[in-house]
Structure 1
Amino acid sequence: MDSTKLRFFAPCPSGLEGVLEQELHDLGVPMTTKTDGGVAFLAPWSSMYWVNLKSHIASRVLWEVGQTPYLSEDDVYRAAYHLSWPDWFTSAQTIKVKVSARRCPLTSLDFITLRIKDAVCDKFMAVRHKRPNIDTHHPNIRLDAFLDESTVTFYLDTSGDPLFKRGHRIVSVEAPLRENLAAGLLRLAGWTPNDVLLDPMCGGGTIPLEAALMARRIAPGQSRAFAFEHLIIHDPKLWGHLREASRVKQLAEVPAAIYASDQDPAAVKIAQRTFQGAGVAIDIRLKQSDILALEAPAEQGVLLINPPYGVRLNRPEELDAFYPKLGDWLKQRFNGWRAYIFTGDLRTPKLIGLAPSKRIPLFNGPLECRLYEFLIVSGSMRKTIPKPDKRG
């Protein structure tokens, strides 16, 4: 099977499609098609293993197993029944069916979900005389279906738990940043392992953790399990070889310093435990500190901030007072640095009093956000900011 090119789709957070496509190219997957919400790619089975193991940005890797036109729910049932589900997993596995759609003319996605589930179970009864059980919370196998206005596409989820669940985090802070979004922010900021990095509002430590994994070349999926391990066509020998090939390429230390801090002592303790669990505590210089008390740790570097925008500082007047101080702090202490602020508060440039050189639209779950870039040059950026338009 590994010489055969198969169709896959890797969804990702909205706004990160471009950096995900570049990451896939870096991972040796050249045949890609970028779409809204993810990247489709054509690759052998081994590349599916490699992307699951190595991707920092993908949310999942879905294997496309069928696509057909439809007019009715019965057409969807027949299309699902036609597929060779018993060749891919056994009736001993639990399953879940998830349906999503865009411009679908059918009235009920719940009913379509039921029809697909019936088709899969009916196929198993016809071929194996035993059907798999349904588990909507922790299934062994997840079947995805996507319907547009005329076509239904079926997928088997090869990942299982979302790929942003790296397996390192024991406890979490309130409203944590997802790991693949943090990795995407680092990519969009142009950070490389040779750049000094500072996250002065690190919360549970997601951004510095992703940076350390990247810098050490530690595969983000090295410590977790995957749904493809439940498939009949899984090749344990090939999978073991790829995991070992990735492990031996790990570096012993980060090339440049990674600094992290937060004023909340509980968040710092959570971050420390997470870094220890991932094996990178020695690589991240973590401390408890108010952001405005910090000095630049190097002459140049990348500063990446995910401020609370109403989560930990929950009164608007607190933010209104904080952002001008943040602008002064950046201008006075970080000359020569590139600063990036990821926020859902689109007033940030006006309040901070600095002109962004870039503003990149992104989503943190359903929340519309921006990644603002500020090139800190002494005396040249502080100015009156015009009122931003509705696009931020």
Structure 2
Amino acid sequence: MSGGSSWLATAARGTEPVLARELGALGAADVRPTEGGVAFRGPAELGRRANLWLRSANHVLLRLAGFPVASADDLYAGAYDVRWEDLLTPRTTFAVAAQGRAPGVRHSGYAALRVKDAAADRMRERRGARPDVDPRDPDVRIVLLLDGRAGTLFLDSSGVSLHRRGWRRRATEAPLRETLAAAIVLWSGWDRRRPLCDPLCGSGTIAIEAALWAAERAPGRGRAFGFQRWPSFGEAEARAWRALLEEADERAAAAGRAARPPIRASDRDPEAAAATELHAAAAGVGGLVRVATADARRFAPPETSGMVVCNPPYGERLAPGRGALDALYRALARALRPAGWVTIVLSGNPGLARAFRRRPDARLPLRNGALPCELLRWDPRRG
């Protein structure tokens, strides 16, 4: 087995292969996709690098311990065996989140409570005081994952979800998560040289994530992470972290001297187009994303070839009903496949795929939040 610690990077279900490729590119060892994430091994430096550079991950979790769970008492016993005195101090605030089920454990809140009690009791015994719980903004976030008769404890090195890049300024209806948008772009096959267009851009997430990737900008450069508040994060770790940030800045500066592909984002809603401009500027890619107010049903890119990547409406919030949705899909299917262009669509409605009247060349089932969706790809070179 390779050296270093065991980690788990979580992601939207279905995008695990994309995340696995990202981790391999970062130098992770023993990369192994699981349901909803990718396990890997590596040193603490790799964990910090993963938080800074992974585009499709939601959290990067450091594995602490695993134990069998036959009853709720096993949760307490397994958690109590962890050397919390090496991970917390009496002044450290912490919180516990739990997911999944096990025998005798049907409620995640109860599972989290048992782990919290075990950690606090051990700290009182070994350090003479129980640390405080802060469910809103803790210094240390503990995660319990239950899978049948097994429980695994992790520290969340990310803190708040990695989709919170720090650039979103304006709330829009049902925005696509940044990490999922990045996974879509990474899966698409875009080479970062051809033009890329999103004619249904909403708040601009797909175009902005594409621009960040094209510009070699670290997606986590504008935010803080959970590991920075761990008691183990001392001056040596802070110096190593600053070196990683400097490396990221140098990489972006070098990429900034290269030619950029056109990245276009448009929406029929002027407020959506304005939000995209605002967000692109906040993300540092305002000069890379060309924004316009335009109807996707009349999409006509100026270039002769490129890639369309978009997330059309699924229909849940369209008042006119099924007939209007079908008509919209037929119009989009005609417009979103200009000659010479590869088309990538995130579809949450089977009617959209039918409207294209051609079997996709590739598809990837995934989840957009709780919604089952598919990524669909049509390539004119294959048909």
Same fold (TM over 0.5): yes
1:1-392 to 2 correspondences below 5 Å: 5-102=4-101, 104-234=103-233, 235-250=237-252, 251-252=255-256, 255-310=260-315, 313-315=318-320, 316-331=322-337, 334-376=338-380
Residue ranges of structure 1 left out of the alignment (5+ in a row): 382-392
AA of the residue aligned to 2:152? T
- Contact 2:56–2:180 under 8 Å retained in 1: yes
- Contact 1:201–1:307 under 8 Å retained in 2: yes
AA of the residue aligned to 1:322? L
> Distance in 1 between the 2:53 and 2:46 partners?
10
> Distance in 2 between the 1:313 and 1:147 partners?
38
- Contact 1:89–1:230 under 8 Å retained in 2: no
Deviation of 1:375 after TM superposition, in Å, equals 2.3
AA of the residue aligned to 1:80? A
- Contact 1:360–1:371 under 8 Å retained in 2: yes
Q: 1:104 to 1:351 in 2, by over 3 A?
A: farther
- How many residue pairs get aligned? The number is 375
Deviation of 1:19 after TM superposition, in Å, equals 0.8
SS of structure 2 residue aligned to 1:162: coil
Deviation of 1:287 after TM superposition, in Å, equals 0.7
Deviation of 1:212 after TM superposition, in Å, equals 0.6
- Contact 2:139–2:230 under 8 Å retained in 1: no
TM-score by length of 2: 0.93
Deviations 1:150-192 (A, max 9, x none): 3221100000010011011111210000011101111221112
Deviation of 1:312 after TM superposition, in Å, equals 5.8
AA of the residue aligned to 1:67? G
> Distance in 1 between the 2:192 and 2:52 partners?
20
Q: Output the aligned Cα RMSD.
A: 1.9
AA of the residue aligned to 1:329? A
Deviation of 1:29 after TM superposition, in Å, equals 1.3
Residue ranges of structure 2 left out of the alignment (5+ in a row): none
Alignment match, 1:384: none
> Distance in 2 between the 1:174 and 1:268 partners?
14
Q: 1:6 to 1:105 in 2, by over 3 A?
A: same
AA of the residue aligned to 2:376? Y
> Distance in 2 between the 1:220 and 1:45 partners?
19
AA of the residue aligned to 1:33? R
SS of structure 1 residue aligned to 2:277: helix
- Contact 1:330–1:376 under 8 Å retained in 2: no
Deviations 1:3-25 (A, max 9, x none): 95000000100000001000101
AA of the residue aligned to 1:236? A
Deviation of 1:124 after TM superposition, in Å, equals 1.5
TM-score by length of 1: 0.91
Percent sequence identity over aligned pairs: 35
AA of the residue aligned to 2:332? L
AA of the residue aligned to 2:274? K
AA of the residue aligned to 2:80? Y
